[in-house]
Amino acid sequence: MNPKYEAAFKPFTFRSGVEIKNRITMAPMTNTAAHENGEVSDEEVAYYQERAGGVGAVITACTYVTRNGKGFPGEFGADSDSLIPSLRRVATAIQEKGSKAILQIFHGGRMCPPEELLDRQPIAPSAVAAERDDAVVPREMTADEIDEIIKAFGEATRRAIEAGYDGVEIHGANTYLIQQFFSPHSNRRTDKWGGTLEKRMSFPLAVVDAVRKAVSDHATKPFIIGYRLSPEERENPGITMEDTLQLVDKLADQELDYLHISVGGFWNGSIRDDNDETSRVVMIHERVGDRVPVMGVGMLRTPDEVMSAFETGVPLIALGRELIMEPQWVQKVQAGEEEKIRTTLSKKDQKELAISDKMWEYYTGIPGWLPIV
């Protein structure tokens, strides 16, 4: 291995006590390949196993904590004890290759496609549609439903523990339910769950509490709790960076193992102000990095680009599309073979890369997302 990359391959120990063998993780990416009943498919298991081994940890695609939170076709579930054997298949496939397995837990809220829901009715903090062409008006959640979904995040965490995972990542990003409670666009409530910035933080913090309690009650060994967030929203009113800095201050006090900052590119500035080019990942690291580790992600394709991100002091980096195209990305860097890293995706590579037909259709259906040749 080229000595200039050695810093990325030092072990990292989380607050919980879990150690990963290096500082590179696989980012959570939807793959739409599960069965209709929420069980993982053989193709998904193979996909994860192919990409485990090199990275320190694999963060799975999001799993719904209640059936009315299913946000994607082919999403696998964590809403029932009957799915624990299914969840265990993914954890085992990852761990057998030498990486830690982290289950991302999620509710889609108003972003759930109606056709994926049993009653075809998305729910959300308030009856306000997202700003997109095909958006439907969600039904405002009752106080009891809010309590039930908070508990469901705890129950999904228990199932992850019983399935043998090394941790969970709470999906509080990308406009889904947890972010919807934090957003002044989607949360117009006037009860204890909405209104002021402090009240809009109540649901995210309650979910964190439920997850932490599940770990305290059920885990018999160290267990990772991560939290993913999006720093800003384009909508007005919407989440501002000032809002997020107050949220991360609160999250930094919650004994989390990391904050995962969901952005299009590690170096990207504001999506609300084109004149503000300061990296949102770096801003959050500078704000709370001395209290909670920050994980950066986004458009870091080469080993040199990854190292430039590490030079900011951010201790963890997640790779997404890079590992779709090159499952052996980490191993090739370690072997000094970075020039052999595949940087494009081709139909002829599909089988070798353990990408099912459903995954291929999904990945290639997002214009410009992958460099396809």
What CATH number did the domain enclosing 112 receive? 3.20.20.70
305 in a structural domain: yes
Q: How would you label 100-116 residue by residue, b for 16+ Cβ within 10 Å and e otherwise?
A: bbbbbbbbbbbbbeeeb
Report which of 158, 147, 169, 159 is spatially closest to residue 62, judged by C-alpha positions.
169
Tell me what pLDDT residue 4 has: 97
Q: Which residues pair with 226 in a beta bridge?
A: 169, 258
Asked, for residue 371, whether it belongs to a domain, the answer is: no
The predicted pLDDT at position 125 comes to: 98
Task: Assess if residue 373 is contained within a domain.
Answer: no
What's the pLDDT at 145? 98
Domain assignment of residue 226, yes or no: yes
Any domain includes 87: yes
In this predicted structure, what is the pLDDT of residue 237? 97
* pLDDT number for residue 285: 98
Catalytic residues: 176
Contact between residue 230 and residue 239 where contact means Cβ atoms under 8 Å apart = yes
- Per-block average pLDDT, block size 10, for the chain (373 residues)? 96 98 98 96 98 98 98 98 98 98 98 98 98 95 98 99 99 98 98 98 98 98 98 97 98 98 98 97 98 98 98 98 98 97 94 95 92 92
Burial 261-273 (b: 16+ CB within 10 A, else e): bbbeebbbbbbbe
Residue 212 CA to residue 307 CA, distance in Å, equals: 33
The pTM score is 0.98
Give the structural domain span for 207: 3-364
Element (H, E) at 246: helix 241-251
Could you give the number of structural domains in the chain?
A: 1
- From CA 171, how far away is CA 105, in angstroms rounded? 6
**Residue 205 belongs to some domain of the structure:** yes
Instruction: Give pLDDT, residue 280.
Output: 98
DSSP 125-185: SSS---SSTT--PPEEPPHHHHHHHHHHHHHHHHHHHHTT-SEEEEEE-TTSHHHHHH-TT
- For residue 370, tell me if it sits in a domain: no
369 lies in a domain?
Answer: no
